[in-house]
Structure 1
């Protein structure tokens, strides 16, 4: 059963982490926030969070969420000399990690938590800070079912969809599968948009039609402004997408699952990386497709709804 009086800590106040911590605060479960750069944690204070001076200040919390950039950071904040689990006999009951890390890194952290009597949930997310703010984040969670049931109400404050997917670290597999589809769908979207434009249809008109058809989705609508305005402000870079394709294709080989579409898309993602445009959004797949079709793209000065307005 859920415990509605759980005390909450939060490690990691980057754009995603801060937005998620603020959602908890607004829901009445204000976390104490720690971040390596204190100023980022301080920015959450005006939204109802408190700020921890160090990670040790979170050890007495019932639940601590982590949202950090990768496996090295996760292991450092949990298992390092000054980490959350460094003091014997003093640790939270539950750690919920929302970072994107490999199943291997997640399993290592899970084992170390278990050795200290701490329950661990792997809870990778789908979305970015803007998606968090609109209340449309999706979360896949794995670990002990009874632990999930205890903290599910906190997870539901973070987004609109929280799915328990199984034991151990299978949520990491779910996230990789999700990101493979992210790449494949974006490449497909780039191809058909270029085809329509080269045939004389504006990108704005084509995507407006697509998004209101049975083929449209939350994602195609969300990505439409980038395609129409050629705004490649990064939400997810080609380097990060390439990493997920590498992981996904390796899993395909390990599990004997043919993945021809993913394999082809992986080569196109690699092409964007090879072009040197590694700090832009992966929506540059559109530019790459247009160049292959001999089409010179120009930004269209047309308002486009990203579908995120009106979130809670």
Structure 2
């Protein structure tokens, strides 16, 4: 059922950095949002914004739309079709929307479980970090039944600047995995050229100011400038999560017989960073590993530009 004002009642599973930022956008837009998180304290932090907190995913089964934003495929299966998952309830939710980055296989299993309960399933992985979400700059790739997408679109457009329907099945999974493979390659490449310039005696701040104002500059390079210059690795996305996504990309490449040599090298370098103990830092910490391999110890610098 919908609220008296016609707005759908929202369930939200997963209140980590990304999930909390997305749920807050819906709360700010006036939606009634009920939240579950495995670590209850993270869900309770959203109560200050007006959310209601529940103890189990199944407690959200009566919601019109239920979103999930979790770390991995096994987590998605657990909170949907596992014991006390949202699909165990009576009645089942009208639409289940997953914004995580997970495998197509896990996504397909949840889609089938939803079909058996009469719940439409949309795969809607998100591009962006919590800051981009908060600023309304995130984007969504969405796949699933076109009718469910059309019905959910007003809510999706509260979460992101753009939601793009890319297919009827699991196509959004591969779109996001390709996106994150490019993210890994770009970040490693940016780390390499920044360290090369720095070892030659050029400040990272000056090099990146030039790059950001050149034809190669982008929102992404500008967003990572503070981390690379000031060595501020406050996390938006961590090396273990990037490593997982690169492996998903390589698995898809093997299945489809698409050679991805550059991505494979990037995956090994990200694994090296994880092995070196970088687990909770932002993935821009790849610059420190690149510097170490280059015999260079980086020191924080001050930025010379005004780019946010």
Q: Same fold (TM over 0.5)?
A: yes
Alignment partner of 1:36 is 2:60: no
Partner of 1:50: 52
CA deviation string 1:176-196 (max 9, x = no partner) = 111110111111111211222
CA deviation string 1:102-135 (max 9, x = no partner) = 1111110110000111000011112222221122
Partner of 1:310: none
Q: CA deviation at 1:199?
A: 2.8
Contact between 2:206 and 2:304, CA under 8 Å: does it hold in 1? no
Partner of 1:262: 263
Other structure's SS at 1:163 match: strand
Alignment partner of 1:60 is 2:62: yes
Q: Structure 1 residues 256 and 213 mapped into 2: Cα distance closer, same or farther (>3 Å)?
A: same
Partner of 1:113: 114
Partner of 2:85: 83
The 2-side partners of 1:76 and 1:110 are apart by: 14
The 2-side partners of 1:62 and 1:154 are apart by: 11
Partner of 1:273: 274
Alignment partner of 1:246 is 2:243: no
Deviates more, 1:103-112 or 1:206-215: 206-215
CA deviation string 1:252-285 (max 9, x = no partner) = 1221212121122222223223333333332222
Q: CA deviation at 1:306?
A: 6.3
Q: Structure 1 residues 256 and 36 mapped into 2: Cα distance closer, same or farther (>3 Å)?
A: closer
Deviates more, 1:22-31 or 1:176-185: 22-31
Match of 1:15 among 17, 32, 42: 17
The 2-side partners of 1:103 and 1:230 are apart by: 35
Unaligned runs of 5+ in 2: none
Q: Structure 1 residues 245 and 56 mapped into 2: Cα distance closer, same or farther (>3 Å)?
A: closer
The 2-side partners of 1:268 and 1:26 are apart by: 40
Q: CA deviation at 1:70?
A: 2.1
Q: CA deviation at 1:57?
A: 3.6
Unaligned runs of 5+ in 1: 308-312
Q: CA deviation at 1:305?
A: 5.5
Alignment partner of 1:72 is 2:74: yes
CA deviation string 1:137-186 (max 9, x = no partner) = 12111111111111011111112121111121111111111111011111
The 1-side partners of 2:293 and 2:56 are apart by: 52
Contact between 1:221 and 1:305, CA under 8 Å: does it hold in 2? no
1:198-237 matches, cutoff 5 A: 198-237=199-238
Q: Structure 1 residues 31 and 288 mapped into 2: Cα distance closer, same or farther (>3 Å)?
A: same
Contact between 1:21 and 1:30, CA under 8 Å: does it hold in 2? no
Q: CA deviation at 1:296?
A: 2.4
| TM-score, length-scaled by structure 1 | 0.90
Contact between 2:226 and 2:303, CA under 8 Å: does it hold in 1? no
Other structure's SS at 1:168 match: coil
Other structure's SS at 2:136 match: coil
State the Cα RMSD in Å: 2.0
1:89-104 matches, cutoff 5 A: 90-104=91-105
1:68-217 matches, cutoff 5 A: 68-88=70-90, 90-217=91-218
The 1-side partners of 2:128 and 2:87 are apart by: 29
Q: Structure 1 residues 303 and 156 mapped into 2: Cα distance closer, same or farther (>3 Å)?
A: farther
Q: CA deviation at 1:44?
A: 1.5
Q: Structure 1 residues 243 and 52 mapped into 2: Cα distance closer, same or farther (>3 Å)?
A: closer
Contact between 1:70 and 1:100, CA under 8 Å: does it hold in 2? yes
Other structure's SS at 2:224 match: helix
